[in-house]
């Protein structure tokens, strides 16, 4: 292919359009790959036109684009969609990440004394202030938090858990498996629907290391049930000298009932109940970055800090920066309402209807319908919140239209309901409306 310079490909608009998406390096690689392929078949005289080669490069770049982590517009109505990255973080949390990541920081440096400082002191201050716990620490995610606790206290010993709480939560986190990995022995008590304090009491032995409560997250047992309340278990733990741990999972720090959802047990309530340690995720209803937070009693926390595993489970500076800023939002009045999850919850039906009108005015055949949005992320599975969706009927099939939208330059993930496509406005940010409208127009 003499006369075909890399430069000609690079300056071709169809290829150059990929630069902001995949970067110059990936574009050059794709061109070289296509040219090399051509050279290797050159001997049999199979010359290909520039046009055909250009198409090959575009195909490679399309593929490359889906390998990158792309921003996606979530039109599913599932607010903490695990497959779409769970909680979007607040703008100020992102600013904090950028500030911490684009240069050096005082991550482990004490500026006042000019010596080594603690990586975690700042996070601990703000976490204890928000949760009311005397001590707190951060690890990579909530699964790591549970693992660290079991490894520290329960290796080769027994952990008593209610049978009703042995569940698998989002992302394949199964308490019995984590228990086994940590070398702890699971002692299940009660029946699936009924557990009493005396079940725990009878299971206590000299080998008992912990009693563990776990939030049933995405699972509910209803009907003829009995659970042991946290304060009862805490009292038993005190009498027996056994720490009681609660894995809260979702990490609500405010009352979700204020936002039209059922009340979800908050971290503060668990701490007030006297739990020795509680664990929760940073990127579920808390609305921060992926992280696992452990809050509780200082004498147990110091044993966790001395576990060598802590080094392997530690969080990076970007996570710490975003988490600290997110927690600061909780410390200012209504500050947490700047977190995208709470912005979504706060949107009124009037506001959503008003936005839906704009969609319907610009899109032929679109109509606004009432629907239900869900929290997702394994939290509050049964209870949705009323929402408004824009519904369109693509002539050539909803599934294919949905696929085209997923492959748009900013992918949009919509809901397919029979032959219609639904766009739930609660999870679409208002600033994304114009882009979504244009994308729907282009596929109809």
Ligand X SMILES: *Cc1c(COP(=O)(O)O)cnc(C)c1O
Please give the residue ranges that form the binding site for ligand X (CB under 6 A): 141-143, 169-171, 173, 214-215, 217, 247, 249-250, 281, 292, 378
Degrees, nearest 5: CA angle 189-274-311? 85
CB of 26 to ligand X, least distance (A): 31
CB of 402 to ligand X, least distance (A): 27
Q: Which is nearer to ligand X, 282 or 384 (CB)?
A: 282
CB of 288 to ligand X, least distance (A): 11
Q: Which is nearer to ligand X, 23 or 171 (CB)?
A: 171
Q: Which is nearer to ligand X, 249 or 394 (CB)?
A: 249
CB of 81 to ligand X, least distance (A): 13
Chain-centre distance for alpha carbon 301? 25
> How are strands ordered across the β-sheet holding 185-189?
135-139, 292-296, 277-281, 244-249, 208-214, 158-162, 185-189
Q: Which is nearer to ligand X, 145 or 439 (CB)?
A: 145
> Rounded to whole angstroms, how far apart are CA atoms 234 and 237?
5
CB of 57 to ligand X, least distance (A): 39
Chain-centre distance for alpha carbon 127? 19
Q: Which is nearer to ligand X, 149 or 421 (CB)?
A: 149
Residue ranges in 134-273 assigned as alpha helix (H): 142-153, 175-181, 197-203, 230-240, 267-272
CB of 279 to ligand X, least distance (A): 7
Minimal CB distance residue for ligand X: 249
Q: Is the separation of the CB atoms in 211 and 200 below 8 Å?
A: yes
> Rounded to whole angstroms, how far apart are CA atoms 109 and 317?
12
Q: Which is nearer to ligand X, 247 or 424 (CB)?
A: 247
Q: Is the separation of the CB atoms in 87 and 340 below 8 Å?
A: yes
Tally of CB atoms within 10 A around 24: 11
Q: Which is nearer to ligand X, 218 or 387 (CB)?
A: 218
- If we measure between CA atoms, which residue out of 251, 322, 326, 278 comes closest to residue 137? 278
Sign of CA dihedral 138, 142, 146, 147: negative
- 3 state DSSP class of 439: helix
> Rounded to whole angstroms, how far apart are CA atoms 423 and 355?
12
CB of 46 to ligand X, least distance (A): 52
CB of 292 to ligand X, least distance (A): 5
Q: Which is nearer to ligand X, 147 or 428 (CB)?
A: 147
CB of 281 to ligand X, least distance (A): 3
Alpha carbon distances (Å) from 240 to 145, 184, 234, 295, 377? 24, 19, 10, 22, 35
- If we measure between CA atoms, which residue out of 316, 288, 282 comes closest to residue 145? 282
Q: Which is nearer to ligand X, 171 or 231 (CB)?
A: 171
CB of 142 to ligand X, least distance (A): 3
Tally of CB atoms within 10 A around 430: 14
Q: Which is nearer to ligand X, 31 or 294 (CB)?
A: 294
> Rounded to whole angstroms, how far apart are CA atoms 408 and 14?
15
Percent helix, strand and coil across the chain, each rounded to 5?
A: 45, 20, 35
């Amino acid at each position: 292919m003499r006369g075909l310079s890399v430069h000609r490909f690079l300056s071709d608009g169809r290829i150059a359009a990929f630069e902001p998406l995949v970067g110059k390096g990936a574009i050059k690689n794709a061109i070289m790959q296509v040219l090399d392929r051509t050279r290797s078949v050159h001997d049999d005289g199979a010359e290909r036109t520039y046009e055909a080669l250009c198409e090959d490069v575009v195909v490679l770049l399309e593929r490359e684009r889906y390998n990158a982590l792309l921003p996606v517009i979530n039109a599913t109505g599932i607010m903490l969609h695990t497959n779409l990255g769970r909680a979007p973080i607040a703008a100020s949390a992102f600013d904090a990440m950028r500030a911490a990541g684009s240069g050096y920081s005082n991550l482990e440096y004490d500026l006042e004394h000019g010596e080594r400082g603690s990586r975690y002191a700042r996070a601990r201050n703000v976490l204890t202030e928000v949760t009311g716990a005397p001590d707190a620490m951060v690890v990579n995610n909530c699964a790591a938090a549970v693992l660290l606790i079991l490894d520290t206290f329960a290796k080769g010993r027994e952990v008593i858990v209610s049978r009703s709480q042995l569940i698998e939560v989002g992302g394949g986190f199964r308490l019995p498996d984590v228990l086994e990995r940590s070398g702890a022995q699971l002692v299940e008590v009660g029946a699936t629907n009924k557990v009493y304090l005396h079940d725990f009491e009878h299971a206590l032995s000299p080998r008992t290391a912990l009693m563990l409560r776990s939030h049933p997250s995405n699972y509910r047992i209803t009907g003829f049930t009995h659970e042991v309340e946290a304060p009862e278990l805490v009292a038993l733990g005190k009498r027996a000298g056994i720490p009681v741990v609660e894995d809260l999972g979702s990490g609500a720090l405010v009352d979700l009932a204020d936002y039209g959802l059922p009340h979800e047990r908050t971290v503060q309530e668990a701490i007030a109940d006297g739990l020795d340690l509680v664990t929760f995720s940073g990127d579920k209803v808390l609305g921060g970055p992926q992280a696992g937070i452990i809050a509780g009693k200082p004498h147990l926390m110091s044993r966790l800090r001395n576990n060598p595993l802590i080094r392997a489970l530690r969080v990076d500076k970007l996570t710490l920066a975003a988490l600290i800023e997110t927690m600061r939002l909780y410390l200012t009045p209504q500050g947490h309402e700047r977190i995208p999850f709470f912005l979504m919850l706060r949107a009124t039906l009037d506001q959503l209807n008003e936005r839906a009108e704009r969609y319907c005015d610009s899109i032929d055949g679109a109509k606004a319908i009432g629907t239900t949005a869900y929290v997702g992320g394994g939290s509050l599975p049964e209870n949705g919140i009323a929402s408004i969706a824009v519904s369109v009927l693509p002539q050539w099939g909803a599934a294919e239209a949905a696929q085209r939208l997923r492959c748009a330059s900013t992918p949009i993930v919509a809901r397919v309901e029979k032959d219609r496509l639904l766009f739930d406005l609660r999870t679409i940010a208002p600033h994304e409306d114009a882009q979504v409208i244009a994308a729907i127009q282009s596929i109809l």
